[in-house]
């Protein structure tokens, strides 16, 4: 039996335990399922106890495995603190803000409203389709599409977020059916399909199109480039689409995709001076641009299409 457990083995163990199997853990940590399986067997051998019950549909923790997971997660928190200290390079305060691709793009465009030149603060945008784990300090602040419900997290509702259909100006004006319900049959479509879970707008689009989107993009910038060039239509949050001069609206707000935007933070950290300062500025930023987020751009609202794409009770939300 080895006397020392390596942190990397525990890191992989945590991934397998949380995923409930090798396949999901492999995607999370970038290690092949066979390698993960061998590493878990070796870890059990080194500890002299069984950690998993291996079943056809996944890995279930034994009582000993559950005990080890609690201990390993405590070490994980310390490892995250060390990593934050290491990456800060000793320069001021590093604040990680977790958000979806579109919200991160908006924040990047308005970063001067969040940080002053005379402040010793660094901002790191953590972009993902899955929310960061604020309890484990994967981020200090998170912009989310629902109220944080886990104990230990605080939430502040920022604004409502609207979505609409957009395309290049010439495409929307000249393509037959682009500005009405015929768009689902007559137009080329661009879908945003980043790594990870399918976005609600992509799911919504798949449900309404007569055929698959002609183009699927893994990055938000690719969607904007393709739509701005006049290639086809796409679904965007209004705070992105209405702010892009190369795009034109082809619909009213899509009621089904609207959702609230929440600012979440760890309850113990939110009173720290640098986090509280950036949090307040985020609130002011969203309030200042509220009309953009809810789909009432400063442009003449009467020029926006009055026809809503779908009017159903919202069932999905998107960051």
The whole-number pLDDT of residue 92 equals: 56
Is residue 142 located within the same domain as residue 76? no
Domain end call among 48, 70, 86? 86
SS3 for 313?
Answer: coil
Q: Which CATH number characterizes residue 275's domain? A: 3.40.190.290
**Does the structure show a pLDDT above 70 at 63?**
yes
Is residue 28 located within the same domain as residue 152? no
Q: Which CATH number characterizes residue 68's domain? A: 1.10.10.10
- Asked if residues 123 and 95 have their Cβ atoms less than 8 Å apart, the reply is yes
Is residue 130 located within the same domain as residue 197? yes
Is residue 80 located within the same domain as residue 223? no
For residue 304, being part of any structural domain is answered with yes
Q: How confident is the model at residue 162 (pLDDT cuts 50, 70, 90)?
A: very high
For residue 1, being part of any structural domain is answered with no
Report which DSSP code applies to 106: H
For residue 153, being part of any structural domain is answered with yes
Residue 215: in which H helix or E strand, if any?
strand 215-217
Rounded-to-integer distance, Cα 229 and Cα 69, Å: 50
**Does the structure show a pLDDT above 90 at 279?**
yes
φ, ψ of residue 191 in degrees (nearest 5): -110, 140
Rounded-to-integer distance, Cα 313 and Cα 246, Å: 31
For residue 212, being part of any structural domain is answered with yes
pTM greater than 0.75 (yes/no): no
For residue 285, being part of any structural domain is answered with yes
For residue 207, being part of any structural domain is answered with yes
- Residue 15: which domain range? 7-86
pLDDT tens-place string over residues 111-145: 999 988 767 788 999 988 777 888 778 889 999 98
| Torsional sign, CA 110, 255, 308, 227 | positive
Rounded-to-integer distance, Cα 7 and Cα 27, Å: 19
Residue (of 234, 199, 214, 191) closest to 103 by Cα position: 199
What are the Cα distances from residue 119, in Å, to 122, 127, 265?
Answer: 9, 24, 21
Is residue 122 located within the same domain as residue 220? yes
Is residue 78 located within the same domain as residue 125? no
Domain end call among 86, 107, 134? 86
Q: What mean pLDDT comes out for the span 55-75?
A: 91
Q: What mean pLDDT comes out for the span 3-24?
A: 87
**Does the structure show a pLDDT above 60 at 148?**
yes
Domain end call among 46, 70, 86? 86
Size of the chain in residues: 319
CB contact set of 45 (below 8 Å; sequence gap of 6+): none
- Asked if residues 204 and 234 have their Cβ atoms less than 8 Å apart, the reply is no
Question: Which of 98-102, 105-109, 270-274, 293-297 is predicted with the least confidence, judged by mean pLDDT?
Answer: 270-274
For residue 2, being part of any structural domain is answered with no
Is residue 42 located within the same domain as residue 155? no
For the chain, what is the mean pLDDT? Answer: 85
Is residue 199 located within the same domain as residue 125? yes
Q: Going by DSSP bridges, is the β-strand pair 215-217/153-161 parallel, antiparallel, or unpaired?
A: unpaired
Is residue 128 located within the same domain as residue 151? yes
Is residue 53 located within the same domain as residue 100? no
Is residue 142 located within the same domain as residue 272? yes
Q: What mean pLDDT comes out for the span 39-50?
A: 93
Scored b (16 or more CB within 10 A) or e, 300-317 reads eeeebbeeebeeeeeeee
- The total domain count for the chain is 2
With tokens 């701005």, the residue in question is: 228
Is residue 68 located within the same domain as residue 144? no
For residue 133, being part of any structural domain is answered with yes
Report which DSSP code applies to 129: S
φ, ψ of residue 275 in degrees (nearest 5): -70, -40
């Amino acid at each position: 039996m080895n006397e020392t457990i390596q942190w990397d083995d525990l890191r992989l163990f945590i991934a397998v335990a949380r995923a409930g199997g090798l396949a999901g853990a492999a995607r999370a940590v970038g290690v092949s399922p066979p390698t993960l399986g061998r590493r878990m067997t070796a870890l059990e051998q080194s500890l002299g106890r069984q950690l998993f019950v291996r079943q056809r549909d996944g890995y279930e923790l034994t009582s000993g495995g559950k005990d080890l997971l609690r201990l390993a997660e405590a070490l994980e928190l310390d490892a995250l603190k060390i990593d934050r200290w290491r990456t800060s390079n000793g320069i001021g305060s590093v604040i990680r803000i977790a958000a979806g691709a579109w919200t991160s793009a908006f924040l990047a465009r308005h970063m001067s409203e969040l940080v002053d030149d005379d402040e010793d603060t660094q901002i790191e945008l953590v972009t993902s389709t899955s929310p960061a784990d604020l309890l484990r300090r994967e981020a200090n602040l998170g912009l989310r599409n629902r109220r944080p419900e886990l104990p230990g997290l605080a939430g502040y509702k920022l604004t409502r977020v609207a979505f609409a259909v957009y395309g290049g100006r010439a495409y929307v004006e000249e393509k037959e059916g682009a500005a009405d319900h015929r768009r689902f049959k007559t137009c080329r479509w661009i879908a945003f399909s980043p790594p990870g879970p399918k976005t609600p707008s992509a799911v919504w689009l798949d449900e309404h199109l007569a055929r698959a989107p002609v183009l699927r993009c893994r990055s938000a910038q690719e969607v904007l480039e393709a739509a701005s060039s006049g290639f086809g239509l796409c679904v965007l949050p209004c705070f992105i689409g209405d702010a892009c001069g190369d795009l034109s609206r082809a619909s009213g707000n899509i009621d089904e995709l609207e959702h609230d935007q929440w600012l979440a933070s760890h309850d113990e950290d939110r009173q720290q001076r640098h986090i509280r300062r950036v949090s307040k500025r985020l609130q002011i930023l969203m309030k200042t641009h509220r009309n953009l987020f809810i789909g009432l751009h400063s442009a003449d609202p009467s020029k926006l299409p009055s026809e809503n794409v779908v009017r159903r009770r919202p069932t999905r939300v998107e960051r």
